[in-house]
Amino acid sequence: MKFVRTLLLALSLLLITKPVTAWEVTDHSFKCIKHMKQVENFYVDNLLGNLEGTLAVATAGQGVYPEGSVLQLMPNEVMVKRHAGFSPATNDWEFFWIDLTKDGSVIYTRGAVEVNNRLNLNCFGCHVKAKPEFDFVCRKDHGCDPVGIRDGIWTALQNTDPRCPGSDVVSAEDQQALAELGAIVEELTKSQQAPAQ
C-alpha cells in the first residue's frame, strides 16, 4: 500500500511539474510547398499526421479542418490549425509569415489576429470574411475579398519556392507571372504610402 501511495505521489508531482503541452510549430515544421499535397491552386499537409482528414475537408471545399492542418497558397504565408481554444477569433488558426532560403524556413512572425504579411496586409482581416462553413479559408467563392492575382502568379510563386529542388530554374511563363506580381506589389505599395484624402 505504501508503494502505491508513493507511486501516485510521484506521478502527481510529475504531472504538476511537467504539464502536457500542446505540440509546437517551429522553423522545421515547414517544407517545400511542392512536397505537400496540392488541392486546386493551394497545398495542404498535417503536422500531426492526419493528412487524410485535412485532404477530406480541402477537397470537399468546406468543413472544419482537423488540428495540425497546414494550408499554403504562397510559400511564405502559412495557416496552421491549432488545438480547440487556441484562438476563438480565428477559429483556432495560427497565421505565419516565414522567410525562405534553400536551407529551409525561418518564422518571421506568427499569431492570430495581429499577423501581417510582407505587404502589411492583415491575415485575419482577409480570412475573417470567409463564410462560416469554410473554416476561415479563402477561395474564390468563400466570401473573402478578391486579391486580384491570377492563378498563374500563384503557380509561379509556388514553382520558385527556394526550399524546393530545381526552383532556381524559372520558366519564361513563371518569369512573366513574377513580373506581373512585381507591378501589382509596386502599385499596392504606392497606394499604401499615398496620403489619405
Indicate the average pLDDT of the chain.
87
Dihedral sign, CA of 73, 76, 79, 80? positive
pLDDT digits (tens, 9 = 90+) for 121-131: 899 998 999 99
Asked whether 145 and 126 are in contact (CB, 8 A), the reply is yes
Cα 21–chain centre separation: 21
Section 41-59 average pLDDT: 97
What's the rounded Cα separation, in Å, for the pair 133 and 70?
18
Q: Residue 75's pLDDT is what?
A: 96
What's the rounded Cα separation, in Å, for the pair 17 and 84?
23
pLDDT digits (tens, 9 = 90+) for 149-163: 889 999 999 999 999
Q: Residue 45's pLDDT is what?
A: 98
C-alpha atoms less than 13 angstroms from C-alpha of 106 in its C-beta half-sphere: 6
**How much is the pTM?**
0.84
Asked whether 108 and 97 are in contact (CB, 8 A), the reply is yes
* β-bridge mates for residue 45, sequence order: 70
Grade residue 15 by pLDDT with cuts at 50, 70 and 90.
very low
Length of the chain: 197
Residue 71 scores a pLDDT above 80: yes
Residue 37 scores a pLDDT above 80: yes
